[in-house]
């Protein structure tokens, strides 16, 4: 016989989220033990970009080796650092080969929870948002920001789950970058990402990275919780580098 409680309330999952690993050559499997620890504490791991420092393939392979210690499903987006060497597709391919689900173009459902994710882009928040006006270079720049938000929205639209999580690198709101110098806020994220998320009722949380000196928690204009999971931010609040969220 079915338990009516379980029918009404789907079983929650524990999501671990961490961004800004910034792996370099000299790291010597720095994250192996951490991934094992996370596997004990959570059901799913979300990696919020800047997985490598320069986006070198050798380093991506080293991270991929560390990820073998992770026994739970992993979803991920890349960060701007992973683009530095001009081969983000290679970095993504190396991580995919060890079982990581790279979001970006396609959403995924893990343990009954939908995950949609993009790197995102910069462009500013709220009234400080740069608009597509004037020079072609500005329009190209703003187009990139609009396009990332659109990819996120398209993924979210494909999800039929009652719970979904948006995984980003750049911040969707100003509140979770607060603590960074205010003049650089426009380079830390874009409100367009929050606007995309706010079109959906099933999104329970947004996790992001990038703002190393930002604040852990905020919310979108519609009240969806946003967590800055850059490892430095989380470490400061919780004494461990990864966030744990009940979804």
How many other β-carbons are positioned within 10 Å of the β-carbon of residue 162? Answer: 12
The verdict on 190 binding Fe ion (CB under 5 A) reads no
CB of 10 to Fe ion, least distance (A): 33
The verdict on 210 binding Fe ion (CB under 5 A) reads yes
Which range touches Fe ion (CB under 5 A), out of 61-69, 78-86, 88-96, 217-225? 78-86
Which range touches Fe ion (CB under 5 A), out of 23-31, 38-46, 94-102, 202-210? 202-210
How many other β-carbons are positioned within 10 Å of the β-carbon of residue 12? Answer: 15
The verdict on 20 binding Fe ion (CB under 5 A) reads yes
The verdict on 80 binding Fe ion (CB under 5 A) reads yes
Which range touches Fe ion (CB under 5 A), out of 1-9, 76-84, 146-154, 171-179? 76-84
The verdict on 88 binding Fe ion (CB under 5 A) reads no
The verdict on 79 binding Fe ion (CB under 5 A) reads yes
Using the minimum distance from each CB to Fe ion, give the nearer residue, 22 or 204: 22
Using the minimum distance from each CB to Fe ion, give the nearer residue, 20 or 153: 20
The verdict on 208 binding Fe ion (CB under 5 A) reads no
The verdict on 82 binding Fe ion (CB under 5 A) reads no
The verdict on 231 binding Fe ion (CB under 5 A) reads no
Using the minimum distance from each CB to Fe ion, give the nearer residue, 20 or 180: 20
Using the minimum distance from each CB to Fe ion, give the nearer residue, 119 or 151: 119
The verdict on 214 binding Fe ion (CB under 5 A) reads no
CB of 81 to Fe ion, least distance (A): 6
The verdict on 117 binding Fe ion (CB under 5 A) reads no
Region class of 190: left (phi > 0), else alpha (psi between -120 and 50), else beta: beta
Instruction: Judge contact between 35 and 8, C-beta under 8 A.
Output: no
Q: Binding residues for Fe ion, per CB under 5 A?
A: 20, 50, 79-80, 210
């Amino acid at each position: 016989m079915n338990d009516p409680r379980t029918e009404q309330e789907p079983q929650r999952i524990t999501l671990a989220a961490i961004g800004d690993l910034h792996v370099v050559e000299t790291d010597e499997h720095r994250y192996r033990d951490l991934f094992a620890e996370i596997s004990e504490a959570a059901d799913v791991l979300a990696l919020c970009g800047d997985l490598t420092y320069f986006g070198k393939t050798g380093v991506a392979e080293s991270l991929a080796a560390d990820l073998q210690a992770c026994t739970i499903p992993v979803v991920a987006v890349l960060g701007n650092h992973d683009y530095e060497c001009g081969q983000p597709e290679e970095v993504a391919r190396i991580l995919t080969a060890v079982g990581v689900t790279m979001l970006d173009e396609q959403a995924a459902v893990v343990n009954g929870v939908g995950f949609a994710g993009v790197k995102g882009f910069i462009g500013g928040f709220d009234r400080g948002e740069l608009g597509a006006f004037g020079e072609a270079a500005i329009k190209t720049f703003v187009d990139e920001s609009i396009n990332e938000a659109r990819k996120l929205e398209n993924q979210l639209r494909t999800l039929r789950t009652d719970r979904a999580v948006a995984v980003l690198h750049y911040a969707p709101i100003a509140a979770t970058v607060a603590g960074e110098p205010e003049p650089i806020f426009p380079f830390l994220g874009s409100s367009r990402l929050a606007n995309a998320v706010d079109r959906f009722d099933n999104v329970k949380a947004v996790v992001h990275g990038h703002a190393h000196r930002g604040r852990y928690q905020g919310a979108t204009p519609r009240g969806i919780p946003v967590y800055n999971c850059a490892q430095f931010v989380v470490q400061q609040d919780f004494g461990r580098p990864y966030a744990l969220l009940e979804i």
